Every structure is written in structure tokens, then in C-alpha cells.
Structure 1
Amino acid sequence: MQPGLHIVTVGAPVPRRKQERARSKCLTALVPELHAFSVDQVYIESREEELNKKDIRTIIEVRRTLPKGTAFRVEHVPGQVEPLLWMSDIVAGAVRAQRQGDTRYIDMLGEVVLDFDIHTGC
């Protein structure tokens, strides 16, 4: 079995009223990283319809920066019907704990986590 890779973009701290801006910046940085690893489809946990549309608009904009003809799709799915989405919460929690000085959880994940900071302008 080939090990997975978890790519985490970290845009923090973010004031509550600027969370959507930070999310957009993180998605903007994440898409090219995923593309570099030959990922062409992403599943994102669904939120309110208008917020889902914002995610899609962001990804459409980023997709324009990828090489011509690149296929990259996004689909929103409810978290309660796709348990694999829970993994992103686990990995994000491990990265957050590491940044706060607790490496227990990131150590369990080994070398399958690639995390990087995003300047969100918030």
C-alpha cells in the first residue's frame, strides 16, 4: 500500500470576520500544490450554498493559473456522509497541536504531512 500525503495550508491567526478571505487564500495556495502531486479532483466538506459557491469561484480562478488543459474539479459533500473528510480535521488538529508545542499527534502521522503557512492579509 502506498502511503498518503496530507497537504495542509495554514493561514492563522485570522479574525472571525475575515475567515472567508483566509479560506480563499488557503484554497488559492492549495490547488497548485495538489496539482503538483497529480491531484485532479478535490472533495470539500459542504457548507451553506453561498459559501460553497465562493469556494468554487476561488478554485475556478486558481485553475486558470494551471497549465492550459488541466483538469481540476471540486465537489462539495456533506461531512456526515463522507467519513474520509474527517481525516482532514484530524490532520489539521495535529498540525495545530504541533504549532502549539505538542508534537504527539503529528509524530503519529510520520512524514505524510506537508504543511505551509499562507499570508492571508488578514
Structure 2
Amino acid sequence: MDGEPLALHAWVDERMDVDPVQDRGSYILASVVSDPDGCGPVRDALRALLQGRQRRLHWRDETAPRRTKIAAAISAMGVTAVVVVGVPMANRRQERARRICMETLLPTLERDYQVSRVLMEARTQNLIRKDREQVANLVGKKLITPALRVGSARPLEEPMLWIPDAVAGAVGAARLGNPEWLGIIRHTVTEIEVALR
């Protein structure tokens, strides 16, 4: 109906970069925002990037030339990426870093991007439970509304999760000194840095 706001969805994945010697690094929570009704062609374009017996795109498994190709494809898809980077992250404080990054990402997606549903990459049942507890905590603090639906999905079943995986990889690579891939998708990415201390 005319005048109704577009109900956007977001898909979320994480990345961690930790220097074991210094015991510090960054926690990256990346999201991609899109109209769920327009994702069919995006999913088809992502599947077209698969090679051989590959069942999903996974940034860490791709070669540099393939990463360039994936970044170029994402750049042309018309999606918006919102990335929260938590620094510095101690090696054994991953879940704390995730909670702090969620506390910034979820309200930003709902408030600034009118996202009504968030699908995070599925983890173990215990870790999914921790995510649910954090969502309830954010609702209790009135940082997000109960209307924001947060669930999980598996990358083998949902190609939209391949995009935040790649975006997180590009952001992480840039922070480690290689900005090539982030440069390709920079126009689609909003990056927010939060302190973990």
C-alpha cells in the first residue's frame, strides 16, 4: 500500500582478528540490509559465483582474485552494509565483544534503516540462546522495540549471509593493512567503531 514504510531485513555475520602474542584484536559484526522481496536476483548472482563443488561462498577460503570478484559482485548488488567493529578485543572475550557490538548494531538497524527482521548466522544452540538473552536485554533497556524480530539462519540455506561474511572479511583485511577489497565496496559500507574497554 502506498505510504507504508518498506519492511527491510538484515543478515548478520561475524569475524574476529586476534593477535595471539599481544592478545588483542578486533571483533567485527557485519550486516547487509535489503528489501526481502528483491533478494531473489541477489541470491542468484551469489550462487553464480560458486565454483566446482562449492556449496557456499566463505571469505576465508577464497583466493585473492576470487575475493576481488566477490567484492565487485557485491558492489553491483545495490545492498547496504552496516558494520560494527569492537576494539580492542582480548582473545578470550569474544562473547563480551559480541554483546557490545550487538548493542550498537541492532538499535542502528531498527532506528536508522527501518529493519524489521534480523537473521544472524546460526551458531551452537547455547550461543543462540546467549544471543536471545542479549536481544531480550536490549528490549528491556528500550534500545530496540519488541517488534524487531531477531533469529538465525544457516549459510548453506541462505546465500544472503554470504554478503556480510565477505563484508566482514574486507573490513578485517583493511584493518590488517590490505584495503583493496574494502575499496571496491566502500560506497555500500557504513562502519561504526565501538570501544570494548
TM-score range, shorter chain: 0.7 to 0.9
**Structure with bigger RCO (C-alpha 8 Å, 6+ apart):** 1
Aligned partner (choices 108, 112, 115) of residue 184 of structure 2: 108
Alignment partners' CA distance in 2, 1:106 and 1:41: 26
Query: Is 1:94–2:170 an aligned residue pair?
Result: yes
The structure whose residues are more often helix, as a share, is 1
Preserved contact between residue 44 and residue 74 of structure 1 (Cα < 8 Å)? yes
Q: Which has the larger strand fraction?
A: 2
| Large movers: runs of 4+ above 3 Å | none
Gaps of 5+ in 2: 1-37, 39-76
3-state SS, counterpart of residue 159 of structure 2: coil
- Contact 2:89 2:97 (8 Å CA) reproduced: yes
Point out where structure 1 has 5 or more consecutive residues left out of the alignment.
none
In structure 1, C-alpha distance between the alignment counterparts of 2:129 and 2:146, rounded to whole Å: 21
Q: Deviations over 1:45-76 (max 9, x none)?
A: 11111100111111122134247x65101111
Match of 1:50 in 2: 126
> Match for residue 19 of structure 1?
94
**How far apart, in 2, do the equivalents of 1:87 and 1:46 lie?**
15
Asked if 2 retains the 8 angstrom alpha-carbon contact of 1:63 and 1:72, the reply is no
Contact 2:81 2:167 in 1 (8 A): yes
Which protein has the larger Cα radius of gyration, Structure 1 or Structure 2?
A: 2
TM-score normalised by the chain length of structure 1: 0.87
Count of residues in correspondence between the two structures: 120
Name the % identity. Answer: 32
Whether the 8 Å contact between 2:116 and 2:148 is mirrored in structure 1 is yes
The residue that corresponds to 1:84 in the other structure is 160
Mark the CA change 1:66 to 1:14 in structure 2 (over 3 Å): closer, same or farther: closer
